[in-house]
Amino acid sequence: MPPLGAKERAALPNNAFAYIDSSGRRVLPIHDEAHVRNALARFSRVGFEDDTSRDRARMRLLKAAKKHGIMPLGFVGGQLRPDQKLPRGLVTFVLADIEGSTELLQRLGDGYGRVLVELRRLLRSAVRDGGGREIDARGDEYFAVFERADAAVGAAVAIQRLVRDHAWEGGAELRIRIGIHTGRPALNETGYLGLAVHTVARVCTSGHGGQVVVSSAARDALEGQLPDGVALQSLGTWRLNGLRESTELLQVLAADLLTNFPPPRPVALAGSQ
């Protein structure tokens, strides 16, 4: 492939590049077949600013490949298959969602979508800085995985602080509830499977906006290692909806976060009828 000279490069429109960073730097030209093939080979070596930028560039590159009749099987396998990116074995899940999302949507209207985009940016930043990996972002839910339980707790605390301190559109006040659970899920081409995935969802929905709730399994995985200034407080043992075994739930405490919440929901005390 002949090199792309500075003058020729400058003459290309923005849509001839897969990625343009926040400073305007244009990377991965995709204006012809040769450069699309080169971009596919170089994609993994580009330093993207965040996961959203990487996803956007990936989709533009795949669209260009389709236009030129290129079947990027190796690229798709390396970039999109979850089992190539996500940790195996004992992992800790973090699931976050917005409390009262329906009411917030009714209040903000079209602005709700922009709030979600900004929220995901904050969540991705906290997860990335904590060494976690994004699993899925759907609606107002955000799902991530960590190899270390203490890193998961640290990221959850960071999320609550970022959400609390952010100036949201329309003066909205977002309350995020976060559930944390540790387990050994199966991992295949569709992602994580197993009881641990269902459990973290129940742990999350048991919480309230502004709260971080941890399962006893995640507490055990911490082995007493918590981020500085963070502690755990038992909320008692509960039967989570749809799960046979009851579990102890614990609240993450930090001096600058909310601490007073109603009992977990929608759950029942273990042993109650």
pLDDT tens-digit profile of 249-264?
999 999 899 999 999 9
**What CA–CA distance (Å, rounded) separates 266 from 273?**
14
The residues, any chain, with a CB within 8 Å of residue 142's CB and separated by 6 or more, are 95, 96, 97, 119, 120, 123, 134, 136
Q: Is the whole-model pTM more than 0.85?
A: no
Chain mean pLDDT for the chain: 86
Q: Report whether pLDDT(227) > 70.
A: yes
Q: Give the rounded distance of the alpha carbon of 79 from its chain centre.
A: 17
Residue 23 confidence class, pLDDT cut points 50, 70, 90: confident
Lowest-confidence segment of 34-38, 92-96, 210-214 by average pLDDT: 34-38
Q: What is the mean pLDDT of residues 134-160?
A: 93
Token pair for 153: 């707790």
CA angle 148, 88, 184 (to 5 degrees): 80
Report the C-alpha gap between 64 and 148 in whole angstroms.
38
Sequence-separated contacts (24+) of 194-197 with Cβ below 8 Å: 195/243, 196/91, 196/93, 197/93
Which of 127, 162, 164 has its CA nearest to residue 142? 127
